[in-house]
Amino acid sequence: MSKYLELKSVSKKYQQQNKEELVLKNVNFSVKKGELAAILGPSGCGKSTLLKLIAGFIKTDQGIISKEGRIIRGPGLDRIMLFQDFEQLFPWLTVLNNIIFALKASRKTEKNSFNFWPGQFRQDLKLLAKEYLAKVKLSQYQDYYPHQLSGGMKQRVALARTLAVQGEIMLMDEPFASLDSQTRQDLQQLLSDLQLNNSRTILFVTHDIREAVFLADKIIVLKDNPGEVISVLANNLPYPRQRSSEQFNQLSEKITSLF
Ligand code: ADP
Ligand code: MG
């Protein structure tokens, strides 16, 4: 299945002070199942808008977005979003319960009630939540509340939550952008390692060229005013990716020269 997620001639306008502003113009690209595609571009070029369109939170003005040949018309549990914001956890739930809550919400029964859940299933969800907390190396913090954690730790919990839910498509909007550079590199490594073992379909928005080169199988490069795709590059650098390697730097420079 080559065209798992597909955008065809997608345009989006926003109403800004009595005039319409074209934010995304004629965007075309596709993403394969299990591929990590980076959406790379300067601040304000429409990256978040693009993710919101794919999430179904907002509608296109022109063009279509489809998954497995079916047009996306609104939000769905098949697409899960991870934001940049450190405050995306529920402050009144512990770290572990934040993940369990998301797992429950993503597996709602038709009766739409958590009370129908058998005990065994609750245990399974707890185990799953613990497994993903271990992956982000936060097991010993499972009973902490978000306010007791650093920004980087909160972002690790949010990442664990997103990965545990196992939505078919993960939409990540600059999830590591607010982190210090060491934490950012650690989380990039973690995500890359997890992708090697169990590849998910991920759209990863970033304005950081080297982050895109480190993580992505495919890099979709956008310019601004209006947001337009200027290049789609395959990234075939071998794993584990070495940030200091010649190939890594060559690809980074090639992308820099596009702007
Ligand atoms: P990016 O994520 O690449 O920084 P955005 O998608 O957030 O870009 O925004 C692209 C452009 O659209 C910006 O100029 C922004 O100000 C504008 N914009 C974003 N959301 C809205 C909105 N809801 N209404 C009007 N303009 C918006
Ligand atoms: Mg944005």
CB-based pocket (< 6 A), ligand 1: 14, 16, 23, 41, 43-49
| 113 vs 202, higher pLDDT | 202
- The closest-lying atom of ligand 1 relative to the alpha carbon of residue 51 is 6
Rounded Cα distance between 252 and 246, Å, is: 10
Question: What distance separates the 2 farthest-apart alpha carbons in the chain?
Answer: 57
Tell me the C-alpha distance between 220 and 200, whole Å.
Answer: 17
The Cα–Cα gap between 201 and 193 comes to 14
Say how far apart CA 213 and CA 226 lie, in whole Å: 24
Residue 64: both structure tokens together: 């279509």
Which of 11, 45, 49 gets mutated to test ligand 1 (max ligand atoms within 8 A of its CB)? 49
CA of 128 to the centre of ligand 2 (A): 31
Q: Is the pLDDT of residue 111 over 50?
A: no
Domains of the chain: 25-78+167-258 (3.40.50.300), 89-108+117-166 (no CATH)
Query: Whose CA is closest to 244, among 208, 218, 213?
Result: 213
pTM: 0.92
Tell me, what's the pLDDT at 32?
A: 96
Nearest CA to ligand 1 atom 25: 14
Return the best residue to mutate from 14, 208, 220 for the ligand 1 pocket (most ligand atoms within 8 A of CB).
Answer: 14
pLDDT mean over 127-136: 93
- The per-residue pLDDT of the chain, averaged, comes to 92
